[in-house]
Structure formats: C-alpha cells, structure tokens
Chains A and B, each alone.
Chain A
C-alpha cells in the first residue's frame, strides 16, 4: 500500500494531484466496495479492497491497478457515480486508497453527502469536458491544481471552471464540513424544536 493514511482535517482550499480516470455511468457503491467488506467495525482496511471485484475481472488492467496511477488522487468519473447503497464505506475506501477529490458528470445524492461529510470535495463538469479529461488521461499524466476559492482547476494544458454546490464549497473553506460541532452549536434551538414537534406530545407510547 501507499504511505500511511491521514484523514483530512480542518479547512480544505487546495487539492493538487494526478488524475485517475474511471469510465462508466451508474457505477454503484456495491462495485466501489462489495458488501462482504462491510463486515467490519472500523474503516481502516477498506483501501486495499476498493473495486475488488472489478479489479479481479480486469486482471491488473483496472485503472486502480495500473502502475502509472498509483499516486493519483483526483478521480474523474462519468454520470451518477456512487448510486445505490448508502454505505460510507465506499468513499472511505476511495479515500484510503488515495483519492482526495472527485470530478464527475453527476453524483448520487447519498454518496455526495457522504463525500462531503468525510472531506472529499466532489465537483461536476459537463459531459464533453469530462470526456476531454478522460481522453487526455488515456495517453498522458494530468496533474491538476484545484483551487476551491475560485472553483478552478489548472494544469499545464487544460483549465476548467469546476462546479460545486455553494454550501459544500463554503463548508470546505471554513472547515465546517466536519459538521458535528457546528450542529451542536445550536443546542438550544434543537431542544426548542424537540419540544415544539406535535408528535413528541402524542407519542407517549413511543419507545
């Protein structure tokens, strides 16, 4: 495996790295991490099992097995990436393999929120630009410098304006993507809400 995994912490404003292209629409989270690897009580060893079944099928030719991609950290995907199961194990496995950001045509909702919650920015680009990047990656290395402040990706040959949900962008820049404490800052409001909800009063048999 690679160098020791360190989870992201705090503000995330720049991500620089080599792109790894993975072609295919509707790549689901069962493919990213098959269910048998969910039998665990922590995420530590998931990195080596990412895309396990697809990789076996491709017998060493899967992008995640290619020597030239071993240091890549920016994943470039097509549409509806991460559909299916809500398993956070999927982005955790990608992150532990070395992925720090994902650029795609579109992402499934739950996968997207999981990525945000663990510090992986997901950017979107139109189909033709994604294909342009993927074609470029076929023959050469693409190193991108992603600037979240400007939502911009730069390289020697290609420059892109990346799209990202404004709320996500702000959370990465402020560090609030790791959100538990931000949520708890509103403790009084949470308690007020609890007492105001109609069903709390009439659910005397609740639990």
Chain B
C-alpha cells in the first residue's frame, strides 16, 4: 500500500512500490523514480459515476498515479491533513480532496441544504474502504469528536470533512432580524449528532449564508 507522509504541513510525499494512488489533477509538484500519470475521467468511477457526477454537479478531476518511487503533491500551499480509514466512510468536498489510496472507493452523496449554504452544491464526495486520504484545508484542520449526548454545531464555511455515523441537521436562524440587518451573524449552522469526527478549518469560505 502506498505510504503517505507529510513534508512540513503543506507538501505530501507518497512512496509507492508499483501500486497506485488517486490525486487531484495537476497537484504533483515533483517525483523521483518511475511514475505514470493518467487522467481519470469522472474520478475513476466508471460510466455510472461519471453520469452521477455530471448530474450532481460535484465535479472532481482526478488522476491516477502509478509507479515506483516517491511522488510529491501540493496545492496552493493549503494545509494537508491525513485521514486513516479502516473501512469507514469519509465525506469531503471534492475541492478539499488532494490524494487517496488507490484502493479507496469514491462516490457522491446528497447533502441537502448544507451543501447549498456552503455554495458547494447539493452533493459531496464520499470515500470508502481501508487506506489513507489526504484532505486540504485553509489553515490546519481541527478534529472534533461527536459522541452521543455531545452534539457539535459547525459553521458551514468552516466545515471540511467528517467520518463516522453522524446525522446532519441544517439549522437556520433566519428571522425578521436578519432581514433588517440585525441578524446574529451565524444564521446557517450544521448540527452533527451521533458518533464520529468532524474536521473544521480555522477560516470561512465565502458562503451564501456568510454575511447573514
């Protein structure tokens, strides 16, 4: 299996011995050894996945990197966070996904209003299987545990990814005060309940709900 390590916090080094990884198209910055870079149409999910992604608008341009040696990945000096998956599922925005083990299955999932409030569309990307994934965030991500009786509320703009058995509930505090410019500033929130981990970044994307 490919060996993921971080060089500093903004460059990912992946050592491969003949196996493959999937990475964001164009994210390779250097490599040694013998590597082949193959653009994956539709994220390597086959015809069905391609159609789903096109319909969902959750476009993801990935490449398959295969060979022997070390390949270095980075993207706009974003912070990189490694996530170890042991059979569970990771939900992440396609734009935050840098690199995954070749053995992880990718797919799309419906997120509902949460995605809409982030300005990311109604769908998100899922990863499933055993292996490592590298996700990007603006500033180092903070990993927060959600347990029964310990729900977590997250600003949609700071949400990066989550794993585990979580239910998401979209909360909107929009009321007449928001309309007259006296809103609470945190009108859109996602509430996570259940058992799992949530990755948040110390920064907020510009969201539709950001200024409300």
Report whether chain A binds chain B.
Answer: no
- List A residues at the B interface (Cβ < 8 Å): none
- List B residues at the A interface (Cβ < 8 Å): none
